[in-house]
Amino acid sequence: MGSRPVFAKAALIAAALTFGMATSAAAFTACQVTDTGGIDDNSFNQTAWEGVQMAQEQLGIDARFLESQAETDYMPNINSLLGECDLIVTVGFLLGDATREAAEANPDQMFSIVDFAYEPPLPNVVGQVFATDQAAFLAGYLAAGMTETGIVGTFGGINIPPVTIFMNGFARGVDFYNEQKDAEVTVLGWDPESEQGLFTNNFESLDDGRAFAQNLYDEGADIVLPVAGPVGLGSATLADELGTDALKIIGVDADLYFTDPERQDVYLTSIMKRMDATVFQVIEMAMNDAFEGGVIVGTLENGGVSLAPYHAFEDAVPADLKAEIEQLREDIIAGEVDVTQ
């Protein structure tokens, strides 16, 4: 994950967020390969696909996707798109090996991969990675300021860097709140120093999401951050049944207030990764002959990551806590607060 940024400039992602000007598609085709979460996972596969769809609408490209039902589908799905697509976008850290193998075997094919980057960079692959610990740090500070029990919790899907970066930022945000306020809010489910914590070992089981959230709730947590894609919907279902006075959820990847409308009122906020913007940006670069291997990094500064609005909890979050979080955001951007410590 140590690749140096090549395209990580605020202007580029800012341009992607506003979609830029329409460009002639010239029969350009962008294809997406999902991980096992599926195209409608209310999370990062869906958000990445929204970027492809934005390009379809704004730039007039052709768009296709293939869903992976199991890890054994990754390579066959990629191979089936070779020669059919100008750009192949693979989604998820777990597709890293398959994407590398396909890219090295097909040097004239353009690829991009979400949540992964290669060191050294591959000349025909753009990695899309996100400083989600920055936004998660804000979420941890928020959770620490909102908990009634003094206990918050988190769990992951699989113990991989794109998951644990959320958990690191969240736990360190709570620690920062404790330091600033002389408080003693406890984080269950993850220790950034030992890198030990709770994982469902899948991104599919809503039953696991419910069970893990239930266990954290039983241990006293009244705010839970599931970093597990669709698994988190099980946690949201539990919160919906218990009531938000008992349990609140922090979403990941997308603003789950909108993508999970049946349970939207349980989400205190969401830690957002703007994969739609970075996918759109890569497509536009490929169409404009500006594609080269490297990595795009989404940050608070360039809008690639952010904290979603409080929505149903807008009136419940104290004004002074909102102001502190906004100031903390500015301090992180300015480098005055290090979210990795």
User: Do 184 and 267 reside in the same domain of the chain?
Assistant: yes
87: Cβ contacts below 8 Å, ≥ 6 apart = 28, 29, 30, 31, 110, 111, 112, 282, 283, 286, 291
User: Do 76 and 183 reside in the same domain of the chain?
Assistant: no
φ/ψ bin of 220: left (φ > 0), alpha (ψ from -120 to 50), beta (otherwise): left
Parent domain of 54? 10-131+274-298
User: Do 325 and 210 reside in the same domain of the chain?
Assistant: yes
User: Do 283 and 226 reside in the same domain of the chain?
Assistant: no
Q: Phi first, then psi: what are they for 219, rounded to 5°?
A: -90, 5
Q: Residue 198 to residues 11, 23, 283: CA-CA distances in angstroms?
A: 38, 46, 36
pLDDT at 26: 53
Q: Considering the domain boundaries, does residue 5 fall inside one?
A: no
SS3 category, 155: strand
Q: Considering the domain boundaries, does residue 236 fall inside one?
A: yes
Sign of CA dihedral 161, 166, 169, 170: negative
User: Do 218 and 327 reside in the same domain of the chain?
Assistant: yes
User: Do 91 and 112 reside in the same domain of the chain?
Assistant: yes
User: Do 103 and 177 reside in the same domain of the chain?
Assistant: no
Report the distance separating Cα 79 and Cα 96, nearest Å. 14
Question: What letter represents residue 322's amino acid?
Answer: K
pLDDT at 76: 98
User: Do 312 and 179 reside in the same domain of the chain?
Assistant: yes
User: Do 37 and 14 reside in the same domain of the chain?
Assistant: yes
Digit-coded pLDDT (tens) for 224-265: 999 999 999 999 999 999 999 999 999 999 999 999 999 999
Which residues of the chain are under the pLDDT cut of 70? Answer: 1-26
Instruction: Please say whether the beta carbons of 227 and 196 come within 8 A.
Output: no
User: Do 229 and 151 reside in the same domain of the chain?
Assistant: yes
CATH of the domain at 180: 3.40.50.2300
Digit-coded pLDDT (tens) for 10-57: 444 444 443 433 444 458 999 999 999 899 988 889 999 999 999 999
Query: Does an H or E element contain 107, and which?
Result: none
Instruction: Please say whether the beta carbons of 310 and 23 come within 8 A.
Output: no
User: Do 313 and 181 reside in the same domain of the chain?
Assistant: yes
Give the chain's domain count: 2
pLDDT at 12: 42
Instruction: Please say whether the beta carbons of 22 and 246 come within 8 A.
Output: no
